[in-house]
Structure 1
Amino acid sequence: MVNKHPLPGSERTVEQGSKVVGQCDPAERIEVFVMLRRQQQAQFDALMSRIEAGDPGVKPISREALAKDYGAAPDDIAKVKAFATQHGLTVVREDAAARSVVLGGTIAQFQNAFAVKLEHYEHHTAGQFRGRTGTISVPDDLHGVVEAVMGLDNRPQARPHFRIRPPFQPARGHQVSFTPPQLASLYHFPQGDGGGECVGIIELGGGYDTADLKSYFASLGVASPTVKSVGVDQGSNQPSGDPNGPDGEVTLDIEIVGAIAPGAKIAVYFTQNSDAGFIDAVSRAVHDTTNKPTVISISWGGPESNWTSQSLQAFNGVLQSAAALGVTVCAASGDSGSSDGASGGDQVDFPASSPYVLACGGTNLTASGTSISHEAVWNDGAEGGASGGGVSRAFPVPAWQKGLSATASSGGKTALSGRGVPDVAGDASPVTGYSVLIDGTQTVVGGTSAVAPLWAALIARINAAKGQPAGFINPKLYRTPGVCNDITQGNNGSFAASAGWDACTGLGSPNGQKVAAAL
């Protein structure tokens, strides 16, 4: 008799607005992503607390050292393989560094292996997906070894954080747009083209058209960067021809990074929009020994409450590895203000709320000539979008945010009870947006989606000039807050901008040369 243990944090309930519409075909083949515990966890935690404290004596570790010392133990991988064999599952891929084993098999085999029931659900916004309720179970010998099992259900996990400017806007102030090089100059980015660096971009669907990129960079008089598509799981570069869909996200991200750091190689990791796909794509980018990105830009996310705790912790573990490797991860903080589009109070967006990423919020920017004349929190009202920001319920206050407080729109300050989001900001309002070319159409786009690649391109320039990665930059930025333009006007719903850090724009928008000096 094999004892089954429920996997902590794997509980799923039926999401509001979802209903079961049918059974899964037991013979259908799927892939499931299994994440294992880290070797020498205590030693790794000690290293991380020095990195989090911004200890200048800590150098990033190599991908090889991370795999050997802090990857999955060979014995643990062997146990998962034995379990797979026992249940007729195949090992599709294993990666000790990423602590992951991908298993393939039929729905019937997986239901039996993990003691779950998979059914087809329908949800008014998410459409049809494969789902489950209750917990996932593992046998005695995997108890404590397996940290997460993802991919049994494939509900859409995240949404892109970009907003296309509507073609008709009643006269609400003056509409302007900027090219990425214009913003780099307004934000005093240091000179350089990011030569020799690689920027990783994570995409959960859509694709880019090489002809778009060629004509866009040519129109800016910028050399076309090298763009490489990396398929993760069943993902690939698949443009749909719809600029309002994920193509808009993919193209926006590449065009911003490429226009500001054309000398950097851009690796675009395409995957499925599910928690398993999202985590696996970020993990592949972090541990990629071929392209070796030193900066990763993520413009997708969802409210913290949409994640199971196993997924949240597994993803956070991948981001922790990125910090240990000296890879800077920039993530969009969301476009739906302090609620993050969730019902029932304020929420922050994950992965932006992970303490191991640079969370990027949004501003509305007015320029006069070559300088910024006004910058406030991006908030175009309920329909128009606003900078995501607030206080995490999932993560405690990081060392570098100790003593900070959030200013409420109603007045009054409250000491942070969890990780504060965002860390920094940049132009994000579609009213003062970015001119880009998507699916053959000149378009103006905003959203915090644009801010993550903007900061990623700045870091790429800094890394190239320095000849080494800036790595996990949050502690350094919070120690030298004057490197950002402090935004003190506006709100994102429940939170207001204020002097110093706030839960709308973080420390503010970049003064690139000062950021470079601080790093």
Structure 2
Amino acid sequence: MRRSLTVFLSLAVVGGLAATAPAVASAQGRQDIPQSHPLWASPQAKVADTAPSAKLDFRVYLNLRDQAGAEAAAQSVSDPDSKGYRNYLSPQQVRDRFSASDQTVGAVKSWLQGSGFQIGDVPSNRAYVEAVGTADQVQQAFAVKLGKYSVKGQTLRAADKNLSVPAPLANDVLGVIGVDQATSLFKPDHTDGSATPAAQSAKPGVVAPGPGFRNAGPCSTYYGEKVDTTDPAYQGKQLPYAPCGYTPAQLRSAYGLDTAAKLGADGRGTTIAIVDAFGSPTIYSDASTYAKRNDPSHPLTQGQFSQHVFPPTPGQEAPDQCDAAGWYGEETLDVEAAHALAPGANLLYVGGADCQDLSLDAALNYVIAGHKADIVSNSYGDTGEDIPADEVKAFNQISIQAVLEGIGVYFSSGDNGDEVARLGTPSPDFSASAPWITAVGGTSLAVGKNGQRTFETGWETGKSTLKNGAYTPAFPGAFNGGAGGGTSRLFPQPFYQKGVVPDALSTKNQTGNAKGRVVPDISAVADPNTGFLMGQTQTFPDGAYYDQYRIGGTSLASPVFAGIMAVADSLDHFHHGFINPVLYKLTSRTSAISDVKHVDAAVQRVDYANSVDASGGLLTSARTLDYPNLTIHTTKGYDDVTGLGSPNGLAFLLLV
């Protein structure tokens, strides 16, 4: 899991303003930043001091001038019952009303410069002040001692106690991110559904394309086209072969976007931003080749695609665990899926310098601060919610500004189901659990011969491998990945979920009469066994070149839903912004949402043992759809796998 801190600072969240923990007085006119010391950084875990000359890049995040006012305004512009509904603010209006003042920025910069730091970026929304310096300068400025600590198989840098700042700045500093390494990195939420582990990559900037993967046959061009009649029956049934990977036209048809296209609505007039780490050197070539091969009437033109990739931070002392080539695959999936659903929309890719919070938050803030897009799709997240207060508060402020500006921010709900297998207890994933974003869950989707949605159920997969004529383990198999969901321990129930999300779900993981935020909000296709055909440059035994394979994960669901919302923008002639209040108040319990229910179904899947060809043999397995043995379940009405359900064509596009 990404974080080891288990105590969280209270912060203002949707549904009510929680009391903020007071700063703790320290010696010599200083005040502590509460809970800025990771609990794992104990004397017993310390293995070394940090070299005084080590270079650190960190950010001092700044408080909004009026946190309560910003949240009230965010609710007003997004709530259809409010007089201020859709009266969005410009970035300049957000800065003028809520951002830290120039005086505050100047005071923080002056202190940092006086402490010997070189000042880096200050974004246009004045969210933070970036600084670069040595470990010794950090120790002096924040009155701490930096060391290296052994934690969960890693050696990470941290301070020996809470960071502190001069008392006159205490009310202005939201938190500091980057002094410690209390991060075990965001992971992209995509999967091909195979058992082959992702390869770790070389250092960013010199990364070769990731290892090649191909789907073996037989497979079906649509759900149910081919049935396995040669292998033993599974649960008394001969199973259909898994689809080879749905094409853009199949997904547009299944989600009813063809009708909107006939009305001239294909996403044009809307910009979708995609935020990931790094930047694939072959992204435009791959995405344009994919469109030419699989959707020739909707090419991806140079004028539709742009990117901004932050350069790596030189000299940064941090573990290199990012699997950059894996992030290349994530970027490619996101771009191709978004274009597939909204072929008229413009696409902006923004790549973080690495896969840590410091860089991904900066990439997201880049889009929001300059209103560079109308929709943002993010297909990554943490394992659970074990997140320090500084990161939660910083992310909360970025997402609130997005709401104020009318920007819709979508996050995939994760690919590890209820997280019990990894964490020991059920949990949704952060950032999907944050209250001011839309969490997109995942489904298994059956698209029929004529492009119709035959059925859609929750994506939770059970795998039974065929060995010596028998399936092991027996039905429903072993859990093999699925959509994240569940009830947050970190965030209380937001206003938009009240009266819609059942108490049986909102009271999970809570104490007393408390209710929590439940994930997800909405869902779309994610199951790699009923997944999307993707094209990407990969490294095969005979070289690196473009090839195609089936892929899934809620990394697919998020850009698919972002594409659907871009089509809604162009059909309705306005940008929808933060849609959760509308989803829960106007579309729940209506035909605009397809209620995703449990379906008893399974598919037969054949894989190459070596991932690329038949020379190493074939692996056959039955994949149970909507695996039942988790703490989250697909049920009638709102549920914690698929949320309210999935969008239902023109009815959804017109009602949101």
Using structure 1 for the length normalisation, give the TM-score: 0.90
For residues 597 and 269 of structure 2, the distance between their equivalents in structure 1, rounded to whole angstroms, comes to: 37
CA distance 1:205–1:128, change in 2 (3 Å): farther
Does structure 2 conserve the Cα–Cα contact (< 8 Å) formed by 1:164 and 1:244?
Answer: no
- Offset of residue 52 of structure 1: 5.3
For residues 75 and 230 of structure 1, the distance between their equivalents in structure 2, rounded to whole angstroms, comes to: 30
Does structure 2 conserve the Cα–Cα contact (< 8 Å) formed by 1:378 and 1:492?
Answer: no
Q: Which deviates more, 162-171 or 39-48?
A: 162-171
- Offset of residue 94 of structure 1: 1.3
Q: 2:267 aligns with which of 194, 201, 204?
A: 194
For residues 341 and 203 of structure 1, the distance between their equivalents in structure 2, rounded to whole angstroms, comes to: 26
Q: Does 1:95 align with 2:161?
A: no
Paired residue for 2:447?
367
CA distance 1:202–1:29, change in 2 (3 Å): same
Give the partner amino acid of 1:178: Y
Q: 1:107 aligns with which of 135, 138, 146?
A: 135
Paired residue for 1:248?
329
Paired residue for 2:651?
514
- Offset of residue 139 of structure 1: 1.3
- Offset of residue 397 of structure 1: 0.6
Q: 2:528 aligns with which of 430, 438, 446?
A: 430
For residues 19 and 162 of structure 1, the distance between their equivalents in structure 2, rounded to whole angstroms, comes to: 34
Q: For residues 185-219 of structure 1, what are the alpha-carbon distances to aligned partners after superposition, in whole Å with 9 as ceiling and x for unaligned?
A: 10112323322321111112452513212211111
Does structure 2 conserve the Cα–Cα contact (< 8 Å) formed by 1:337 and 1:492?
Answer: no
- Offset of residue 444 of structure 1: 0.8
Q: Does 1:174 align with 2:229?
A: no
3-state SS of paired residue (2:136): helix
Paired residue for 1:456?
562
Paired residue for 1:391?
487
Paired residue for 1:144?
171
3-state SS of paired residue (2:122): strand
Does structure 2 conserve the Cα–Cα contact (< 8 Å) formed by 1:52 and 1:399?
Answer: no
Does structure 2 conserve the Cα–Cα contact (< 8 Å) formed by 1:235 and 1:270?
Answer: no
The residue correspondences of 1:279-298 to structure 2 (distance < 5 A) are: 279-289=361-371, 292-298=372-378
Q: Does 1:497 align with 2:637?
A: no
For residues 46 and 249 of structure 2, the distance between their equivalents in structure 1, rounded to whole angstroms, comes to: 49
Q: 1:405 aligns with which of 499, 502, 505?
A: 502
For residues 142 and 207 of structure 1, the distance between their equivalents in structure 2, rounded to whole angstroms, comes to: 41
Report the identity percentage: 28
For residues 416 and 452 of structure 1, the distance between their equivalents in structure 2, rounded to whole angstroms, comes to: 29
Q: 1:378 aligns with which of 459, 463, 479?
A: 459
3-state SS of paired residue (2:644): coil
For residues 152 and 348 of structure 1, the distance between their equivalents in structure 2, rounded to whole angstroms, comes to: 27
CA distance 1:56–1:233, change in 2 (3 Å): farther
Paired residue for 1:336?
416
CA distance 1:105–1:133, change in 2 (3 Å): same
3-state SS of paired residue (1:30): strand
Q: Does 1:218 align with 2:281?
A: no
For residues 332 and 5 of structure 1, the distance between their equivalents in structure 2, rounded to whole angstroms, comes to: 37
Does structure 2 conserve the Cα–Cα contact (< 8 Å) formed by 1:298 and 1:330?
Answer: yes
Give the partner amino acid of 1:144: N
Aligned residue-pair number: 507
Paired residue for 1:11?
37
CA distance 1:333–1:11, change in 2 (3 Å): same
Paired residue for 1:40?
66
CA distance 1:142–1:71, change in 2 (3 Å): same
Give the partner amino acid of 1:214: S
Q: For residues 362-403 of structure 1, what are the alpha-carbon distances to aligned partners after superposition, in whole Å with 9 as ceiling and x for unaligned?
A: 111112222111211111135520110000111111111113
- Offset of residue 300 of structure 1: 0.6
Give the partner amino acid of 1:463: D
CA distance 1:446–1:21, change in 2 (3 Å): farther
3-state SS of paired residue (2:393): helix
Q: Which deviates more, 422-431 or 462-471?
A: 462-471
Paired residue for 1:159?
187
CA distance 1:421–1:197, change in 2 (3 Å): same
For residues 240 and 155 of structure 2, the distance between their equivalents in structure 1, rounded to whole angstroms, comes to: 41
- Offset of residue 354 of structure 1: 1.1
For residues 28 and 50 of structure 2, the distance between their equivalents in structure 1, rounded to whole angstroms, comes to: 26
Q: For residues 219-262 of structure 1, what are the alpha-carbon distances to aligned partners after superposition, in whole Å with 9 as ceiling and x for unaligned?
A: 121211432221236379xxx9x897222111100111122223
Q: 2:95 aligns with which of 54, 67, 71?
A: 67
For residues 205 and 116 of structure 1, the distance between their equivalents in structure 2, rounded to whole angstroms, comes to: 32
Paired residue for 1:444?
550
- Offset of residue 118 of structure 1: 3.3
Q: 1:262 aligns with which of 343, 346, 350?
A: 343
- Offset of residue 441 of structure 1: 2.3
Which ranges of 4 or more aligned residues in structure 1 deviate by more than 6 Å? Answer: 168-172
Paired residue for 2:28?
2
For residues 366 and 411 of structure 2, the distance between their equivalents in structure 1, rounded to whole angstroms, comes to: 17
Q: Does 1:274 align with 2:351?
A: no
- Offset of residue 340 of structure 1: 6.6
3-state SS of paired residue (1:13): coil
3-state SS of paired residue (1:296): strand
3-state SS of paired residue (1:93): coil
Structure 2: tracts of 5 or more residues without a match: 1-26, 195-214, 218-230, 315-320, 463-477, 538-545, 599-625
Q: Which deviates more, 323-332 or 273-282?
A: 273-282
Q: Which deviates more, 310-319 or 26-35?
A: 26-35
The root-mean-square deviation of aligned C-alpha atoms, in Å, is 2.8
Using structure 2 for the length normalisation, give the TM-score: 0.72
For residues 322 and 384 of structure 1, the distance between their equivalents in structure 2, rounded to whole angstroms, comes to: 35
Does structure 1 conserve the Cα–Cα contact (< 8 Å) formed by 2:443 and 2:523?
Answer: yes
For residues 492 and 321 of structure 1, the distance between their equivalents in structure 2, rounded to whole angstroms, comes to: 39
Does structure 1 conserve the Cα–Cα contact (< 8 Å) formed by 2:571 and 2:653?
Answer: no
